[in-house]
C-alpha cells in the first residue's frame, strides 16, 4: 500500500482568534497545504475490504451532540424514495442506533451507513444526504452529521495556562490520522489521509475545504489561516506532507 508512515516533520502556526482574545488556533500547515482530496467513487477502496463501495461510510456516523442529530433528522425527513435507496427501511426499521457504549449514531445496514446509496441506485451513488444538498444548492456540511463533513479534518480543544493563573482555549486544526480513531484505526484496511492515492487534489486542503474550515473556525479565523497557508506555500513548504506528489 502506498501509505506513508506518520511522524515526519510538520510545520504549525499559532495565532490568536481575530475576534476572541481567549482562543488561540494551532494549525498544521503541512496538512492544510497538502494535496489530499476525497476520492470516493474515484478509486477509493473503502476502509474495509468487505465494503469497498462504501468508502468510509461503513460503520455509520456518531453524532457530536443532540443538535447534530436533530439537524440530520430534519434532512432525513425531507428525503424521498427517489433520493434515498433505503428510504423505506430507514422509516420502518429506524435510521439511528446506539453503539456498544450507548452512543447514538446513524444505523449501519447491509455493510454501510443507512444513508449510503449503492452504485446502481438511479437516484445517485453515495450519501443520500450529500446528494440532497447538491440537488438543492445547499452546502453539504450543513446537512450531514458533523463527523462526516469534518473528516479527515480534525478539531481539538485544550485549556492552556498562561502561567499567571489565567487560561485560554487552544483550538487545534489538523489531520485526522489513523491514530485519531483510537486502537481501531490500525485495523482499517485502507485509510486516505496518509495515502498517496488520495493526495491528487488540484487545490490544497485549505482551499478545497474552505467551507468546512470556515464552519470550524469562523470567517475571521479562516481568513487568517488562509493567509498563513499562502505564506507557507510562498516559502516553498519546506515540510511537505510525505504523501504529496513531487515532494
State pLDDT tens for residues 69-98: 999 999 999 999 999 999 999 999 999 999
Residues of the chain with pLDDT > 70: what percent?
Answer: 98
Alpha carbon dihedral 182, 185, 187, 193, in 10-degree steps, equals -170
What is the Cα–Cα distance from 62 to 98, expressed in whole angstroms? Answer: 9
Least confident of 11-15, 80-84, 243-247: 243-247
Helix-helix angle 128-135:66-76, to 10 degrees: 70
Residue holding cell 489513523?
Answer: 178
Pull the grid cell for residue 52: 469497498
pLDDT value for 62:
96
Its pTM stands at 0.94
- Residue spans of beta strands (DSSP E) within 62-166: 96-98, 104-106, 108-109, 112-113, 116-117, 126-127, 153-161
In whole angstroms, give the CA distance from residue 131 to residue 123.
9
Give φ, ψ of 232 to 5 degrees: -60, -45
CA distances 27 to 103, 148, 169, 223, 226, Å, are 29, 20, 14, 13, 11
Summarize the confidence of residues 7-36 as an average pLDDT.
Answer: 96
43 Ramachandran zone, left/alpha/beta (phi>0; psi -120 to 50) = left
- Whether the predicted pLDDT of 164 surpasses 80: yes
247 confidence band (pLDDT: 50, 70, 90): low
Number of Cβ atoms within 10 Å of the Cβ of 186: 10
Grid cell, residue 9, equals 516533520
pLDDT given for residue 144 in this prediction? 98
CB 205 within 8 A of CB 32: yes
DSSP H helices, 36-105, are 66-76, 87-93
**What's the whole-number average pLDDT of the chain?**
95
Question: If you average pLDDT over residues 136-156, what whole number do you get?
Answer: 97
What proportion of the chain, given as a percentage, has pLDDT over 90?
93
Tens-place pLDDT, residues 30-83: 999 999 999 999 999 999 999 999 999 999 999 999 999 999 999 999 999 999
Instruction: Collapse the DSSP code of 24 into the 3-class scheme (helix H, G, I; strand E, B; otherwise coil) and give the result.
Output: strand
Q: What's the pLDDT score for residue 216?
A: 98
Q: Domain boundaries in the chain?
A: 12-38+157-234, 57-149
Confidence bin at 236 (pLDDT 50/70/90): confident
State residue 177's pLDDT score: 95
Amino acid at each position: 500500500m502506498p501509505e506513508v508512515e506518520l511522524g515526519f516533520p510538520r510545520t504549525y502556526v499559532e495565532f490568536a482568534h481575530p475576534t476572541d482574545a481567549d482562543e488561540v488556533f494551532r494549525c498544521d500547515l503541512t496538512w492544510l497545504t497538502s494535496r489530499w482530496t476525497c476520492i470516493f467513487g474515484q478509486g477509493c477502496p473503502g476502509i474495509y475490504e468487505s465494503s469497498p463501495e462504501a468508502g468510509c461510510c461503513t460503520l455509520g456516523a456518531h453524532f457530536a451532540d443532540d443538535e447534530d442529530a436533530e439537524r440530520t433528522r430534519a434532512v432525513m425527513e425531507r428525503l424521498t424514495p427517489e433520493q434515498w435507496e433505503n428510504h423505506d427501511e430507514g422509516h420502518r426499521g429506524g435510521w439511528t442506533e446506539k453503539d456498544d457504549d450507548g452512543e447514538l449514531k446513524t444505523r449501519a445496514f447491509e455493510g454501510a451507513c443507512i444513508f449510503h446509496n449503492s452504485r446502481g441506485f438511479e437516484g445517485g451513488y453515495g450519501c443520500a444526504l450529500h446528494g440532497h444538498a447538491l440537488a438543492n444548492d445547499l452546502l453539504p456540511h450543513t446537512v450531514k452529521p458533523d463527523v462526516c463533513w469534518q473528516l479527515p479534518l480534525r478539531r481539538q480543544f485544550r485549556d492552556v495556562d498562561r502561567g499567571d493563573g489565567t487560561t485560554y482555549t487552544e483550538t487545534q486544526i489538523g489531520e485526522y490520522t489513523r491514530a485519531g480513531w483510537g486502537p481501531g484505526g490500525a485495523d482499517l484496511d485502507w485509510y486516505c489521509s496518509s495515502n498517496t492515492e488520495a493526495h491528487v487534489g488540484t487545490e490544497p486542503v485549505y482551499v478545497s475545504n474552505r467551507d468546512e474550515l470556515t464552519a470550524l473556525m469562523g470567517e475571521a479565523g479562516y481568513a487568517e489561516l488562509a493567509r498563513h497557508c499562502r505564506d507557507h506555500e510562498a516559502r516553498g513548504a519546506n515540510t511537505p506532507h510525505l504523501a504529496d506528489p513531487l515532494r
